[in-house]
Amino acid sequence: MLVNRRCLSTEQQDVTITLTPSAQKRLIEDLLASRTPWDDNPQRVAYRLLDPGENSFVVELKPGEGRLFRVTNGLQGTIPGNRFWSGEVLVNGNLTLGSADTLRIHRGCKIYFENNTGLFVQGRLQATGDAGHYITFTSPSGDYNPGSWNYVRIYSTSRASTLTRCNIYSASTGLVLENVTGPVSVDNCRIKYNTIGVLAQNSSGSISIQNSQIQNNQTGVWLNNTKPSIKYGYITANSQKGVYLYNQANASFGYENIYGNGEGAYCQFNTSPNLYGSAGYNWIYNNGVDGVSGRDNSYPKLGYDIQSKYGRNHIYANTGYEVANRNSGTTYIKAERNYWSASETNPVPPDDIYGRVDWDPVLPPGPPLLADNWTNEALILEVNEEYQKAAEAYAEAIAKEPNAENTSFAVSGLVRCYEAMGKGLAIVGLLDDLIAKYPKTATEISAKELSLPFLLASGSWDKGLDRAKELLDLNQNTGREAIFLFEMASFYLAKSSGKPGTDYDEATHIYQTLAERFPTTDLALWASIWLKTESNPLLGKRSAKTAAAEAFDQFSLSTNYPNPFNPETEISYAMAKDGYVRIDVYNVLGQKVATVVDDQMPAGYHLARWNGRNTLGEKVGAGIYLCRMQAGEFVKTQKMTLLP
């Protein structure tokens, strides 16, 4: 403790703290900083990071002032109430901010996260730096290695959060926004060297990302069922994708620079982002594959031949296609009134287009086309914001041809119109009516697929899970299995509320399956990160029943999938270290039926398959079987049910 015994003058005192050279970094906390009147903030806590060896600093004490310091290993667990951080903070375990609390972070503060730790925000985060004093979230080493720590995760909160002039470096996922219903503003931030820069999913709150640099990540922005506004920034030099948009991720872009990425804007599964009108003026160029692409009923809106709806995007010099329509069906991606070069004075056509893309006329502008030249009455009504008439036109088109090749576009349009009219709560009923009215048609399938995010948001998790399972069965061997596995995991996680148990374990197993069977997909990327980073922050430690979370430090055997099954099932297991493992299948009499694994295996996750046959290759009868894993002293048995 330091004390200034002078009554009238300020005093400076030197402080030296020495750690052994082999020691880890430590955190020193100024316990009395909040009691001093230096900024009239009673919630302030001042921290300083201590390195191995000698640490010297100067403390200025006002007349009669005292300071008490405490040295700890770092922060973890639950933040005790409202806090205002300043200085240098060390986080050495998962750290949670409660729903009623606010964490303010002072300009210039540096927050260092040790391996496999993160900040979990259920309350309000206000991290406000300035031009000369950015707030930095990173690893203690300062190395630019993706995955050095977990994330800053804002989760299930209706409270407003702000990140202004912040650096987020070297995490598995720099910033996660999940199930957020309140506003979030990300302004003038630099989000770099992470596996995923920004991940936002299942969030209905107003999310604004502007004036920010999202670069040198594996994927820059990863969106699922979330509609943020992304403007005036740079998404560049991300090795895999600049922006990945999935499942109603109808984001709005404007004046954004998306260039030099492995791929530009990649849209998948019922996603139609806005890049026209006030959401236009984007520069999308020099990306390694496509500039903009859509698949699985995804039609990015790149511009219309109506002056207020022009695209005004510069899309050029992308290695693959400038715009690629990889959807089945006859619907076009609208990409009218754009610049297909860096010039705004020389009208040129795009260099390379894939599929049905309506790019003509280009900019600079000529006379606009008349509305009656359009072949899609419903679409022109929607673009002109006559949503009620557009909804009626889409419904009429569905009624005329419920099994048409491009029916999914009409069903999507109907949903977009209901959202635009503020009828979001009626969408599940609307889609259920289409399912009942048009059985065994393309309309039924499209309505079931489009219903998934709305069932998740409305809490109809069992219904959504059954529907996702049905769609998975319909899409076996189509290349779309990963989509519906991912959707199933989302429903299981929602049912579990993030707590250990059967639903949580099912989600874990599905993520393991995604990572193993579909390793090159963007959904597998998120599954792999979840498996690496996910723990139960509410408990402040790894979930005791989460096989995925445990797999990095111990052996595990997960429930087989599917279960019950016919004719084959997958068995997921984890090795804590390299070694010999044996997995056998027994009948209920204790007789060995088959050997699934009998080998030396490296540490990590593994999948094995049993095809329902015995060691002679003969099909076995339906019934209950036991799967037994042994690896060293680890032994575990799981029940499996083979259907007739």
Taking the domain 370-453, which CATH number applies? 1.25.40.10
Say which residue, 364 or 269, is predicted with more confidence: 269
Kindly state the average pLDDT of the residues 125-139: 96
Whether the pLDDT of residue 423 is over 90: the answer is yes
Whether 282 and 275 have beta carbons less than 8 Å apart is answered as yes
Report how far apart the first and last C-alpha atoms of the chain are (Å, whole number). 75
Residues with Cβ < 8 Å from 74, sequence gap 6 or more?
25, 26, 27, 90, 91, 92, 93, 114
Instruction: With cut-offs at 50, 70 and 90, classify the pLDDT of residue 27.
Output: low
Amino acid 545: pLDDT: 33
Whether the pLDDT of residue 622 is over 90: the answer is yes
Which of 23-32, 292-301, 539-548 is the most confident on average? 292-301
- C-alpha to C-alpha distance for 61 and 36, rounded to whole angstroms: 10
In Å, the largest CA–CA distance within the chain is: 94
* Full DSSP string of 451-502: HHHHHHHHT-HHHHHHHHHHHHHHTTTTT-HHHHHHHHHHHHHHHHTT-SSH
- C-alpha to C-alpha distance for 254 and 263, rounded to whole angstroms: 18
Residue 73, token pair as written in the block: 């290993």
The lowest-confidence range among 125-129, 322-326, 467-471, 576-580 is 576-580
Count of CB atoms within 10 A of residue 632's CB?
Answer: 12
Amino acid 71: pLDDT: 76
Amino acid 43: pLDDT: 56
Q: Are strands 353-354 and 323-325 parallel, antiparallel or unpaired?
A: parallel
Instruction: With cut-offs at 50, 70 and 90, classify the pLDDT of residue 329.
Output: confident
Contacts of 458-462 with C-beta under 8 Å, sequence gap 24+, read: 458/425, 458/428, 459/494, 460/428, 461/491, 461/494, 461/495, 462/495
- C-alpha to C-alpha distance for 352 and 337, rounded to whole angstroms: 16
Residues with Cβ < 8 Å from 251, sequence gap 6 or more?
223, 226, 227, 228, 229, 230, 243, 245, 273, 274
| Single-letter amino acid code for the residue at 119 | L
% of the chain exceeding 70 in pLDDT: 86
What's CA 448's distance to the chain center, in Å? 23
Q: What is the pTM of this model?
A: 0.77
Phi/psi-derived region of residue 436, left when phi > 0, alpha when psi is between -120 and 50, beta in every other case: alpha
Residues with Cβ < 8 Å from 491, sequence gap 6 or more?
455, 456, 461, 464, 465, 468
The pLDDT tens digits of the residues spanning 405-415 come to: 778 899 999 99
Q: CA torsion sign, 339 to 341 to 342 to 343?
A: negative
Residue found under tokens 């080998």: 599
| CATH fold for the domain made of 551-642 | Immunoglobulin-like (2.60.40)
Whether the pLDDT of residue 537 is over 70: the answer is no
User: Where is 391: in which H helix or E strand?
Assistant: helix 387-400
Whether 256 and 278 have beta carbons less than 8 Å apart is answered as no
- C-alpha to C-alpha distance for 121 and 100, rounded to whole angstroms: 10
Q: What is the 3-state secondary structure (H, E, C) of 476-487?
A: CCCCCHHHHHHH
- C-alpha to C-alpha distance for 270 and 287, rounded to whole angstroms: 23
CA-only gyration radius of the chain, Å: 28
The pLDDT tens digits of the residues spanning 187-226 come to: 999 999 999 999 999 999 999 999 999 999 999 999 999 9
Amino acid 65: pLDDT: 59
Amino acid 30: pLDDT: 65
Amino acid 434: pLDDT: 96
Instruction: With cut-offs at 50, 70 and 90, classify the pLDDT of residue 52.
Output: confident
Amino acid 39: pLDDT: 44
Amino acid 601: pLDDT: 86
Instruction: With cut-offs at 50, 70 and 90, classify the pLDDT of residue 538.
Output: very low
Residue 294, token pair as written in the block: 């859509």
Amino acid 572: pLDDT: 77
Residue 314, token pair as written in the block: 């510069």
Q: CA torsion sign, 75 to 92 to 111 to 51?
A: positive
Residue found under tokens 């998790």: 461
Whether the pLDDT of residue 462 is over 90: the answer is yes
DSSP type of residue 597: E
The pLDDT tens digits of the residues spanning 475-509 come to: 877 778 899 999 999 999 999 988 888 899 889 88
- Round the average pLDDT of the chain to a whole number and report it: 86
Say which residue, 143 or 283, is predicted with more confidence: 283
Domain boundaries, the chain: 218-369, 370-453, 459-535, 551-642
